[in-house]
A and B are shown apart, each in its own frame.
Chain A
Amino acid sequence: MSEAISEAGAFRQIGTRPIRPDGLDKVTGRANFGADFSLPGMLHGRFLRSPHAHARIRSIDITAALAVPGVKAIVTGKDFPDVAPGDIEGGEGGGDYHDMAVNVMARDKVLYHGHAVAAVAATSTRAAEEAVRLIEVEYEPLPVLLDIDSAMAPDAPLLHDHLYTEGLPEKPARPSNVAQVMESTRGDIEAGFAEADVIIERTYLTPTVHQGYIEPHACLARWGQDEQSTVWCSTQGSFDVRSMTARVLDMSISRLKVIPTEIGGGFGGKTTVYLEPVAILLSRKSGRPVKLVMTREEVFRASGPASASKIKLKIGAKKDGRLTAMSAWLAYEAGAFKGSPMVPGVMCVFAPYDVPAFKAVGYDVLVNKPKVAAYRAPGAPQALFATESAMDELARVLNMDPIELRLKNAVRDGSQASYGPKFNAIGMEACLQAAREHPNYKRPLGPNQGRGVAVGFWFNVGMQSSAEIHINEDGTATVIEGNPDIGGSRASMALMAAEELGIPYQDVRVLVADTEAAGFTNVTGGSRVTFATGMAVIEAARDIISQLKARAAALWNVDVEMVDWVDGKVVARPGVNVEADPLTLADIAGQAAKTGGPLLGRASLNARGAGPSFSVNLCDVEVDPDTGKVDVISYTAIQDAGKAIHPSYVEGQMQGGAVQGIGWALNEEYIFSAEGIMENAGFLDYRIPVASDLPMIDTQIIEIANPGHPYGVRGVGETPIVAPLAAVANAVNAATGLQMTELPMSPPRILAALEAAKG
């Protein structure tokens, strides 16, 4: 393990585990989340949603609904402006603004079961619900497409008449349900497979899954006669809500203020808008504030789940385990509008390995399901489920230790990443070596038990961030930033500010400010907050330090070049003749008025140098041969964090991601009827792991400093969900002798496979 060193020397506070600044609020019920805000005169809104997965809307009659006592406003697609096509900027998933607007409220067609058709604001939820029941809609049902194969069939019915496949050499003559094709190749793939002694070739399937955040989407909107609107909402990106809402409603950004509430989980699912534009329109129409809160059922049916996928993978290797070629055909469901995470899937499917020849072709496929949204390392869990399952099968065929096989082919510093750049200071090998040495890799296994290994990877991103630091009169500090705190990031920001400023962590408060008070900041996503916003906080602190030096120099009447910042104090350089003692932040803050006024540091940046994060997971399972039920009995997550600012929250990311991945592997899936209606739209039958399903999740943080960050930070939030799918599958395969290629590995599916294997 290496340790990053700050310019000032060894860390004093980075790497410690203090209580988060917002901790008290969150354990006492004081913290206000999306649904917790109310305003005088506030109305409650409810949606009418499509009962069909695909239908033309012939007519909507709201007469009876408007007559319900207490109903103040109803909006339908007709109330929304037409929005021109254009790639969505910001957020965390692909897509188009026109599609976003139509997703928020259907216009001439509904494209999935649960698609919003109308919304009502009334003095009570019950009145709004009553009105929703009285809205009459005439539909003309259309054919429903629910899987990749039927949507890609040459004669398939179309979701959109004007969607033409992008990424082909020429614009196709006919529209299609395939929005985009992307290809990525290197080397001579034919020669590579010809050279191989062993070839593994399989098709892997993963289902539609949901992020499963516990807080449903919620917002409160207030429109004013001055055309200014304010929105309180639970989001990962308040600036994205602002730009997306402004675009959907064709309004100026200056007319919209977004106040992010505390956010009850997102995992990528709260990086777009569903409610906010509707709430503003209802508020405008009624002249009163409007609160919209999704039910859990609506969250499942009408927010943005993660793509189902079909991946055909082929890998070739020599007898000694060296890979000679890899190829992949990857199709990701986008839902009803284009923009699945197919592109990152194509980019990462081979990323962990140094292979001389590869070819990956990806397809973004539309189906009559809700438009997908980002979910933690979007696209990667599906892709690496395929790659890491095949690698494990290869190890078994070659009778090699699965970690040895991976070490033999691992990317290392200097390797050309399959997605382009040359890797520098990466932790793939270090994670594999740590896994090999881990006691959990050596624990003896009992009957019906098996162990699985898998590698995880995510690129991580930088993007734009701003931060301000205000120094108080007594030398304490307030950090102002714009990333909703979804997992303890206030603690990380406070630690970095305290480290730089040489003041105790407890003396730093962190404010997640609204879009009028914070500088522009991209979404809380892409594992970017500790990296990029952290970098802005460090730079803002350094801005303060340079001001402190200037002020001390002025006080001492020496040139600023004559002073230094050492151990949290301004000191005169050796040889400079100054009679005063070194000055701390508090010393100078106390004399701010004398030295030039309040101390305020700031930074805004577009962070470059994000460092990819690799992981290795070890999973032990026991399979009941009579029922097919899988128990995870031991789980170990090892990951390169670059530098762990607050190690407890890094471990928390690793543990939480692991368990989401375990859920994805074992039980989570959208189950659709033939008509396209989700049959398990609740936590009863959409089975996320519960506490009693799991063992402790052991963690080991590897710290290979990221040279692109002052403290060596690389993002940690997304990589943790990538390895578990294959780690669990490989463990099940080891326990049973099966080769499971379809998720989830639910008990009926495993028992059927066991029966089939018996013959």
Chain B
Amino acid sequence: MKQQVSSTVNGEPVEFLCAADETLLEVLRDRLSLTGTKEGCGTGDCGACSVLLDDRLVCSCLVFAAELEGRSVTTVEGIATPQALHPVQQKLLEHAALQCGICTPGVVVAAKALIDANPEPTEEETRYWLAGNLCRCTGYDKIIRAVMDAAAEMRGATS
């Protein structure tokens, strides 16, 4: 029995049919063609599939798509505006904080959520917030610097 689900994805109303045991990650990638959200493990251990569910950071591999009824999702495709990258995206590029880039979509979403919740994160807070976003290329150094730099820039822009 397929479930019919009405939700909002990246600000747009979206309706889809899914199986009851289908995950949000599967629906995003396979039914909505939003392949920016990546699957690294399927068990919530790597963070590559991070999305915002009603503004809360979650692993989309650990959410049933059927739970989305009436709720909203933001994916990496919904972070930048048509005019400009989000400061997190811009700073990740300036700091060369990605090598292969597979973890980057999850890092972008998680870092945006961090700064939204805590505009002035310390290094330790940034590291613990991002502990669920595995990166095997960078050793995290440049990611942490980029995210803190983005937070600083956003504070500067709003003050």
**Chain A residues proximal to chain B, CB less than 8 Å:** 17, 19-20, 22-24, 26-33, 35-36, 126, 211-216, 262-267, 293, 295-296, 486-488, 646, 648-649, 651-653, 655-660, 682-684, 688-692, 694, 696-697
Q: Are B98 and A19 in contact (CB under 8 A)?
A: no
Pairwise interchain contact A694-B34, C-beta atoms closer than 8 A:
no
A28 near B96 (CB under 8 angstroms)?
A: no
* Interface check B134, CB cutoff 8 A: yes
- Is B42 in contact with A296, judged by CB distance below 8 angstroms? yes
Q: Cβ of B131 and Cβ of A488 under 8 Å apart?
A: no
Give the complex CA separation of A690 and B140 in angstroms: 8
Residues of B close to A30: CB separation below 8 A: 36, 77
Contacts of B140 in A (CB 8 A): 655, 659, 689, 691, 694
Residues B136 and A488 in contact, CB atoms below 8 Å apart: no
Question: How far apart are the CA atoms of A651 and B137 in the complex, in Å?
Answer: 11
Whole-angstrom distance from the CB of B139 to the nearest CB of chain A? 3
A sample of 18 more A-B contacts (CB under 8 A), given A27-B89, A293-B39, is: A17-B96, A28-B77, A29-B77, A35-B35, A126-B19, A212-B136, A214-B48, A214-B134, A215-B102, A262-B100, A646-B96, A652-B99, A655-B138, A656-B136, A688-B136, A690-B134, A694-B127, A696-B145
Distance to closest chain A CB from B50 (angstroms): 11
Partner of A659, one of B42, B75, B77, B139: B139
A683-B45 in contact (CB<8A) = yes
Q: Are B137 and A656 in contact (CB under 8 A)?
A: yes
**Is there an interface contact between A652 and B142, defined as CB atoms closer than 8 Å?**
yes
Closest chain B CB from A648 CB (angstroms): 3
Pair B89/A28 contact, Cβ less than 8 Å: yes
User: Which residue from chain B places its CB closest to the CB of A33 in the assembled complex?
Assistant: B102
Rounded to whole Å, the gap between the CB of B75 and the closest CB of chain A is 7
Given A652-B138, A694-B140, does the pair A33, B98 have CB atoms closer than 8 Å?
no
Task: Kindly provide the distance from the CB of A488 to the nearest chain B CB, expressed in whole angstroms.
Answer: 6
B93 CB–A CB distance under 8 Å: yes
Query: What mask results when residues 103 to 139 of chain B are scored 1 for a CB within 8 Å of chain A, else 0?
Result: 1110010000000000000011011101111111111
Q: With both chains docked as a complex, state the minimum distance between the C-beta of A265 and any C-beta of chain B, in angstroms.
A: 4
Q: By the criterion CB–CB under 8 Å, are B136 and A696 in contact?
A: no
- Inter-chain contacts of A214 with B (CB < 8 A): 38, 40, 46, 48, 100, 102-103, 134-136
Minimum Cβ distance to chain A for residue B17 (Å): 14
A27→B40 contact, CB < 8 A: no
CA distance A349 to B143 in the complex (A): 34
**How would residues 7 to 41 of chain B score, 1 for a CB under 8 Å from any chain A CB and 0 otherwise?**
00000000000010000000001000011111111
Are A213 and B136 within 8 A (Cβ)? yes
A682/B93 in contact, CB under 8 A: no
Q: Is B52 an interface residue (CB 8 A)?
A: no
A264 to B103, CA, bound (A): 8
- Cβ-defined partner of A213 (8 Å) among B29, B42, B85, B100: B100
Q: Range of interface residues on chain B? A: 35 or more
Inter-chain CA distance A30–B36, complex, in Å, is: 6
Q: What CA separation (Å) do A654 and B105 show in the bound complex?
A: 23
Whether a CB of chain A sits under 8 angstroms from the CB of B67 is no
Shortest Cβ distance from A32 into B: residue: B35
Task: Say how far B68's CB is from chain A's closest CB, in angstroms.
Answer: 19
User: In the bound complex, what is the Cα–Cα distance between A212 and B102 (angstroms)?
Assistant: 12
Residue of B nearest to A212 (CB): B136
CB contact between A690 and one of B85, B98, B131 (< 8 Å): that residue: B131
Judging by beta carbons under 8 Å apart, are A683 and B41 in contact?
yes
Cross-chain contact A655 with B39 (CB below 8 angstroms)? no
Least Cβ–Cβ distance between A516 and chain B, in angstroms? 24
Q: Which residues of B contact A19 (CB under 8 A)?
A: 93-94
Residues from chain B with a CB closer than 8 A to the CB of A652 are: 96, 99, 137-139, 142
Contacts of A265 in B (CB 8 A): 99-100, 102, 136-137
Alpha-carbon distance A318/B51, docked complex (angstroms):
61
For the complex, would chain A's binding face be called helix, strand, loop or mixed by DSSP majority?
loop
Interface pairs (18), CB distance under 8 Å:
A24-B93, A26-B98, A28-B36, A35-B39, A214-B100, A215-B102, A262-B101, A263-B100, A649-B96, A652-B99, A655-B139, A656-B138, A659-B138, A659-B140, A689-B139, A690-B131, A691-B135, A696-B144
**Contact call B131/A26, Cβ cutoff below 8 A:** no
Closest to A266 in B: B100
Check: B92 CB closer than 8 A to any chain A CB. Answer: yes
The one of A488, A646, A655, A684 in contact with B141, judged by C-beta atoms closer than 8 angstroms, is A655
Give the contacting residue for B93; candidates A27, A216, A660, A691; CB below 8 A.
A27
Give the complex CA separation of A716 and B90 in angstroms: 26
Distance A293 CA – B29 CA, assembled complex (angstroms): 14
Task: Give Cα distance in the complex from A376 to B28, angstroms.
Answer: 34
Q: Which of B's residues lie within 8 Å of A, judged by CB?
A: 19, 29, 34-43, 45-46, 48, 75-77, 79-80, 85, 89-90, 92-96, 98-105, 108, 123-124, 126-128, 130-145
Query: In the complex the two chains form, is B43's CB within 8 Å of A683's CB?
Result: yes
Q: Are A683 and B46 in contact (CB under 8 A)?
A: yes
**B79 in contact with A28 (CB, 8 Å):** yes
CB contact under 8 A between A29 and B136, given known A20-B96, A691-B144: no
- Which of B85, B96, B123 is the most central at the interface, judged by chain A CB atoms within 10 Å of its CB? B96
The interface residues of chain B lying within 8 Å CB-to-CB of A28 are: 36, 76-77, 79-80, 85, 89
Q: How far is the CA of A555 from the CA of B7 in the complex (A)?
A: 65
User: In the bound complex, do residue B36 and residue A487 qualify as a contact, i.e. CB atoms below 8 Å apart?
Assistant: no
A265 to B97 CA separation, bound complex (whole angstroms): 14
A29 touches B100 (CB 8 A): no
The 7 closest A-B pairs by CB, nearest first: A29-B36, A264-B102, A659-B139, A648-B96, A26-B101, A655-B139, A487-B99
Contact call B130/A691, Cβ cutoff below 8 A: yes
Taking a contact as CB atoms under 8 Å apart, the answer to whether A682 and B41 are in contact is yes
Name the distance in Å between B113's Cβ and chain A's nearest Cβ.
15
Once the chains bind, are B142 and A648 in contact (CB under 8 Å)?
yes
The interface residues of chain A lying within 8 Å CB-to-CB of B98 are: 23, 26-27
Q: Give the complex CA separation of A696 and B143 in angstroms.
A: 10
Taken together as a complex, chains A and B put the C-alpha atoms of A23 and B100 apart, in Å, by: 10
**Looking across the interface, which residue of chain B has its beta carbon closest to that of A684?**
B45
Give B76 Cβ to nearest chain A Cβ, in Å.
4
Residues on A with C-beta less than 8 A from B37 are 29
**What is the CA–CA distance of A486 and B102 in the complex, to the nearest angstrom?**
10
Q: Name B76's contact: one of A20, A29, A659, A682 (CB within 8 Å).
A: A29
Which residue of chain A has the shortest Cβ distance to B135 in the bound complex? A214
A692 x B131 contact (CB < 8 A): yes
| One of B89, B128, B131, B141 near A696 (C-beta < 8 A) | B141
Residues of B close to A697: CB separation below 8 A: 139, 141
Q: Is the CB of A656 within 8 A of B99?
A: yes
| Of the residues A211, A649, A690, A694, contact of B99 by C-beta under 8 Å | A649
Contact residues in B for A649 (Cβ distance below 8 Å): 96, 99
Q: What's the minimum C-beta distance from B44 to chain A, rounded to whole angstroms?
A: 9
Q: When the two chains form their complex, are residues A682 and B130 in contact, meaning their CB atoms are under 8 A apart?
A: no
State how many angstroms separate the Cβ of A687 from the closest Cβ of chain B.
Answer: 10
For residue A22, which residues in chain B have a CB less than 8 angstroms away from its CB? 101
**In the complex, what distance in Å separates the CA atom of A213 from the CA atom of B40?**
9
Most chain A beta-carbon neighbours within 10 Å: one of B101, B123, B141: B101
Point out the residues of chain B lying under 8 angstroms from A266, CB to CB: 100
In the complex, residue of chain B having the shortest beta-carbon distance to the beta carbon of A35: B39
Which residues of B are found within 8 Å of A683, using beta-carbon distances? 40-41, 43, 45-46, 134
Nearest Cβ on chain B to A444's Cβ, whole angstroms? 21
Task: Decide: A660 near B43, CB < 8 A? Known: A214-B103, A215-B100.
Answer: no
B136 contacts which chain A residues (CB < 8 A)?
A: 211-214, 265, 267, 656, 660, 688
CA distance A627 to B135 in the complex (A): 27
Residues on B with C-beta less than 8 A from A211 are: 136
User: Contacts of B90 on A, CB cut-off 8 Å?
Assistant: 27
Complexed CA–CA distance, A215 and B29 (Å): 15
